[in-house]
Amino acid sequence: MNDIQTLTQQVLAAFFLMSFVLGVISQRTHFCTMGAVSDVVNMGDWTRARQWMAALGVVMIGFAALSGSGQIDPTKTLYAGSRFIWLSTLVGGFMFGYGMVISSGCGNKTLVRIGGGNLKSVVVFVVMGVSAFATLKGITAVVRVNTVDAVALDMPSGAHLGTLLGAVLGVSPDAAAVYAGFVLGAVFLALALRHKDFWRADNLLASFGVGAIVVALWWISGHFGFVAEHPETLEPVYVATNSGRIEALTFVAPVAHTLDWLMFFSDKSKVLTAGVVSVVGIICGAAASALLSKTFRWEGFANQRDLANHLMGSVLMGVGGVTAMGCTFGQGLSGMSTLSLNAFVAVAAILVGAVVALRQQAARMEASYCG
């Protein structure tokens, strides 16, 4: 049993360290999905979008290599399953995408902003966490389960791209997924790196640094943290994860779990998980980077409308992120690397929601100028 406890502590320490580095990179390079979409829509600038595409390419190739070599079991990830919950990911993704725009950033960016002294993001953190917890176990969870979650397609071989490709190519779904991971990863990398003006230090750090961190966490959770037979249950277990499955990075449900751990700290059943230490690690990493670069500054709400927008966006991100089973990191970099069909639908819906919100913001600003 002591060996399990030691291994759990080592996995938690590794997740904290990797997340700390992610916080430093995100703060320094301004890696942000919402910012990337905003740059494209408002300025036609694809630089940060290419950062994201390159990071996704790295994670896809890394995950394919890990699963293809037997280092991790892709059927045991958080995103593996036979249910294609297309309506949940569609509705939840749109809500999250719209919410991240009006609340000034996704889950990861919220944590980075907190580390940089942004008090608005502290409010977003709390409200998003409470909303997410309500959608996991509370009143909005009842609505979710009885509405959008009830609509699904059952795919016995797995709700991932490998199942579809395997049927077409005449190979096993797992083999097709590995091949597709390498190919799609290379395509995303090529799309990002084909522009020479992208080859700057910060862009490459964001792309390969973020991607490598997610790949490392897949290995830590799925290989290093795997115990074939738990001494008490005699069943296989992935230590330190909240789901009991292989996890990488996501920043909606873990925010709820962080609040839960803080509020019920004296309850011995509430233990630290990889998701909770990742939340703390990013905040600490971003704070360290902001302080060292002398960019740390306190920032609050400009007016009541600013507060209202952030409150509404926080609720949409909390409810939407849980409904969609992830955020721009959870269903984006982590989920899409597994080729989960749910992840592809969720990310597409997030992008649509973000574009709609950005267009509405632009229209309101134009109307105010004309007025």
Residues 164-188: tens digit of each pLDDT:
898 888 888 889 999 999 999 999 9
Q: Do 343 and 162 contact (CB within 8 A), yes or no?
A: no
CA 347/CA 102 separation, integer angstroms: 18
Q: Output helix, strand, coil percentages for the chain, rounded to the nearest 5.
A: 70, 5, 25
One DSSP character per residue, 229-275 reads: S-TTT-S-EETT-SSSSB----SSHHHHHHHHHHHTTT-TT----HH
Q: Please tell me the total count of domains within the chain.
A: 1
Kindly tell me if the per-residue pLDDT of 368 is higher than 90: no
Give the pLDDT band of residue 267 (cuts 50, 70, 90): confident
Give the pLDDT band of residue 1 (cuts 50, 70, 90): low
**What average pLDDT does this structure show over 131-153?**
96
What is the 3-class SS of 133-180, one letter each residue?
HHHHHCHHHHHHHHCHHHCCEECCCCCEHHHHHHHHHCCCHHHHHHHH
Average per-residue pLDDT for the chain: 94
Percent of the chain with pLDDT over 90: 84
**What average pLDDT does this structure show over 271-287?**
97
pLDDT digits (tens, 9 = 90+) for 314-333: 999 999 999 999 999 999 99
Range of the domain at 24: 2-370
The SS3 call for residue 227 is strand
Kindly tell me if the per-residue pLDDT of 86 is higher than 60: yes
pLDDT digits (tens, 9 = 90+) for 297-316: 999 999 999 999 999 999 99
Range from 45-54, 72-81, 232-241 carrying the lowest mean pLDDT: 232-241
State the pLDDT at residue 93.
98
Residue type, 14: A
State the pLDDT at residue 51.
97
CA 357/CA 320 separation, integer angstroms: 15
